[in-house]
């Protein structure tokens, strides 16, 4: 069993991250309320998960590492979205 992701997996992850980058760009240009902000945050979180799972090979790690990194991403995303909401309410 090969622990490294295949070239096909790496290319698919790269293509998906490029599509998510385009979504983030669209959301930044649109800036019409909270929906584009949430779309950009979702795209960013998905890109981070792809990097962790595919490129850093976290998918082959133990459940403890996975839980820590996903919790860390959730906290960061909550802080950023919360800060954006506070800024919009002022």
Domain range for 14: 7-89
Average pLDDT, the chain: 89
Q: What is the pLDDT of residue 30?
A: 84
CB 38 within 8 A of CB 71: no
Instruction: Provide the domain count of the chain.
Output: 1
Residue 1 domain flag: no
Q: What percent of the chain has pLDDT over 70?
A: 97
Exposure on the CB side of residue 56, measured as CA atoms within 13 A: 12
Residues 87, 65: Cα–Cα separation, whole Å: 33
Residue 12 domain flag: yes
Locus of tokens 């992850």:
13
| Rounded mean pLDDT, 13-38 | 89
Instruction: Give the chain's radius of gyration (CA, Å).
Output: 15
In this predicted model, what pLDDT tens digit does every residue of 29-69 receive, in sequence order? 887 778 888 888 899 999 999 999 999 888 888 889 989 99
Q: What is the pLDDT of residue 69?
A: 92
Residue 2 domain flag: no
Q: What is the pLDDT of residue 2?
A: 60
- Tokens encoding 34: 């909270």
Is the four-CA dihedral 44, 50, 52, 55 of positive or negative sign? negative
């Amino acid at each position: 069993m090969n622990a490294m992701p295949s070239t096909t997996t790496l290319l698919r992850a790269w293509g998906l991250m490029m599509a998510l980058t385009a979504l983030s760009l669209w959301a930044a240009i649109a800036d019409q309320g909270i929906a584009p902000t949430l779309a950009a945050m979702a795209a960013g979180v998905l890109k981070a998960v792809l990097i962790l799972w595919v490129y850093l090979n976290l998918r082959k790690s133990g459940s403890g590492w996975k839980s820590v990194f996903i919790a860390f991403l959730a906290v960061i995303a909550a802080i950023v979205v919360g800060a954006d909401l506070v800024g919009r309410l002022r």
